[in-house]
């Protein structure tokens, strides 16, 4: 008979089967097909207990009703497409699956995967052609719509896993441009005790050995292995600022919600200043080689994946430093940019130009971002030099 869809069985008559079956068998088969088609509501399992008695939920998943108006809002042509018995496109099918799963998650607490078998039966009764698993050539899809709904439901329940790269380079302002802002795993074969011992050996080497006799290989190896500890000490201040930022944002959201209810005008409050946890002087005492070329270059390369000396040389040779200085001199309103410019001009007469520009650039950046001098610079008394 070349039937293409299961719903076409209701149109089969006894005369169509006379060449294949006897009169009695044809009549019995047609009546059976008609009884299946007239059965609209499937009886619930007799041994099923109320879900609210088991899970403590006020909503019975088997009583869940699909919000078709919400589905029709996906696309203006979706409703007409369903009524005309047309198949859904891949994009529309994905949108319908996502919208149905969202309805279940928001309206049925403690929902299980079995609820989608009930939902898909209701969808097929309403629009049998559009939501059937049969293709136009009569073949059945590898994955039914019910299986796709269940997979999407499991996916939304699954917690998001953070990759190793995302952990080492978090999406915060302080980590911008870094490929390894922090280290999440200890180096192979190392423990916290052995790394602490390596740090003490580095400090001892710095204090007892003259710079001309420094063991470069020893310094580079130990600085590389203790990179994670170095970042922990440096990142304390950035994490404290990020914590305060989230706290202020959360308080603003609460105030906004309260104002909506009470209809009160906004009240501006001064944000707490971040506590100074680590200064440059403290870092220098714990990691002296971080402020020497022997350790600074390796630390910067591990942090950003770029060679510090090459980048710094290109920064001054290509004229980028002059552009940044010009911009900061013109836009800095706080501090004393004119005084810094005058001193830079005086220093260029007896020092290399890039040295004077580097010092001026550091002071201008400190003023622009309102950083504490004690947190960035190590101040010394020139009278004793």
**C-alpha dihedral sign at 207, 212, 213, 218:** positive
- Model-level pTM? 0.49
Task: Give CA torsion, residues 98, 103, 106, 110, to 10 deg.
Answer: -90
Q: Distance from CA of residue 231 to its chain's centroid?
A: 22
Q: pLDDT averaged over consecutive 10-residue blocks of the chain (385 residues)? A: 64 74 74 59 44 40 78 88 86 90 84 84 86 62 76 79 75 84 90 95 94 92 94 86 83 77 56 67 91 90 90 88 91 83 87 84 85 69 58
Are 149 and 119 spatial neighbours (Cβ–Cβ below 8 Å)? yes
Q: What pLDDT sits at residue 13?
A: 76
What is the pLDDT, as a whole number, of residue 55? 37
- The per-residue pLDDT for 199 is 95
The kind and range of the H/E element at 315 are helix 308-317
Give kind and range of the element (H or E) at residue 300: helix 293-304
Q: How far apart are CA 71 and CA 67, in angstroms?
A: 7
3-state secondary structure of 142: coil
The rounded distance, in Å, linking the Cα atoms of 198 and 221 is 10
Q: What are phi and psi of 134, to 5 degrees?
A: -85, 140
Side-chain half-sphere of 141: how many Cα atoms within 13 Å? 13
* pLDDT value of residue 53: 33
The neighbouring-strand residues paired with 47 are none
- Given a contact cutoff of 8 angstroms between Cβ atoms, the answer to whether 109 and 103 are in contact is no
pLDDT at 40: 39
Q: Using CB atoms within 10 A of its CB, is residue 339 exposed (0-12), middle (13-18) or buried (19+)?
A: exposed
320-338: per-residue pLDDT in tens? Answer: 999 999 999 988 877 788 8
**Residue 44, pLDDT score:** 45
How far is CA 54 from each of CA 50, 58, 115, 181, 244, rounded to the nearest angstrom?
A: 7, 11, 15, 48, 43
pLDDT of residue 19: 73
276, 374 in Cβ contact below 8 A? yes
The two three-digit tokens of residue 85, written as one number: 């018995």
Q: What is the pLDDT of residue 222?
A: 95
Q: What is the dihedral of CA 107, 113, 114, 116, to 10 degrees?
A: 60
What was the pLDDT predicted at 273? 60
Q: How far is CA 121 from CA 80, 83, 276, in A?
A: 20, 17, 62
């Amino acid at each position: 008979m070349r039937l293409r869809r299961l719903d076409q069985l209701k149109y089969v008559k006894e005369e169509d089967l006379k060449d294949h079956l006897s009169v009695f068998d044809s009549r019995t088969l047609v009546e059976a097909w008609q009884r299946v088609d007239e059965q609209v509501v499937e009886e619930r399992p007799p041994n099923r207990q109320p879900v609210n008695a088991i899970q403590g939920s006020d909503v019975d998943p088997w009583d869940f009703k699909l919000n078709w108006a919400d589905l029709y809002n996906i696309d203006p042509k979706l409703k007409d497409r369903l009524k005309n018995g047309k198949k859904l496109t891949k994009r529309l099918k994905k949108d319908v699956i996502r919208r149905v799963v969202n309805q279940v998650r928001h309206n049925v607490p403690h929902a299980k995967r079995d609820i989608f078998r009930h939902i898909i039966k209701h969808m097929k009764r309403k629009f049998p052609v559009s939501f059937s698993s049969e293709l136009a050539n009569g073949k059945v899809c590898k994955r039914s719509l019910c299986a796709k709904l269940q997979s999407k439901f499991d996916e939304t329940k699954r917690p998001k896993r953070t990759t190793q790269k995302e952990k080492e380079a978090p999406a915060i302002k302080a980590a911008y441009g870094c490929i390894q802002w922090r280290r999440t795993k200890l180096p192979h074969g190392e423990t916290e005790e052995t790394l602490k011992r390596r740090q003490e050996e580095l400090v001892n080497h710095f204090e007892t050995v003259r710079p001309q006799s420094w063991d470069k290989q020893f310094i580079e190896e130990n600085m590389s292995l203790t990179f994670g500890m170095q970042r922990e000490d440096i990142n304390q201040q950035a994490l404290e600022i990020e914590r305060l930022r989230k706290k202020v944002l959360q308080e603003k959201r609460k105030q906004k919600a309260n104002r909506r209810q009470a209809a009160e005008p906004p009240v501006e409050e001064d944000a707490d200043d971040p506590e100074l946890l680590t200064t440059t002087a403290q870092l220098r005492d714990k990691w002296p080689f971080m402020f020497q070329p022997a350790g600074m270059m390796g630390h910067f390369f591990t942090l950003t994946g770029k060679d510090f000396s090459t980048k710094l040389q290109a920064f001054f040779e290509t004229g980028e430093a002059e552009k940044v200085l010009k911009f900061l001199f013109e836009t800095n309103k706080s501090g004393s940019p004119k005084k810094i410019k005058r001193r830079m001009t005086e220093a260029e007469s007896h020092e290399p130009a890039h040295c004077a520009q580097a010092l001026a650039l550091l002071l201008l950046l400190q003023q622009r971002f309102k950083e504490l001098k004690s947190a960035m610079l190590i101040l010394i008394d020139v009278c004793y030099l």
